[in-house]
Structure 1
Amino acid sequence: MTSSAIDLVRSGKIDLAPFVTSKILAEDIISDGFDRLTNSQDEVKILVSMS
């Protein structure tokens, strides 16, 4: 089943971009990232950037 979900994403039939709700810097994971995930009902996925 996992491979079929991956295949749907690879083929473009499922777009995961809408699931990214925020982007933060790695240095802000503790001060901002965890707070957002635990205190917000709107966050789905937070991308962490190293720079």
Structure 2
Amino acid sequence: MNEDPNEDARLEEIVKSGPAGALALAGISTAIVIGLWFVFYFAVFLPRGVIQ
């Protein structure tokens, strides 16, 4: 399959480090969505007042 044992070791080290970049991207995206929801809530819903 792969002839270079050093490349296998590097690949194993990358896999051991985990999906830090993907988790960071998901966290940032979630924070943006929640932030936009708060902006929409305070800028649109609250000024309209109570629904009757």
- Relative contact order higher in (CA < 8 Å, ≥ 6 apart): 1
TM-score for the superposition, normalised by structure 2: 0.23
Compare the two structures and name the one with the higher helix fraction.
2
Calculate the TM-score normalised by the size of structure 1.
0.24
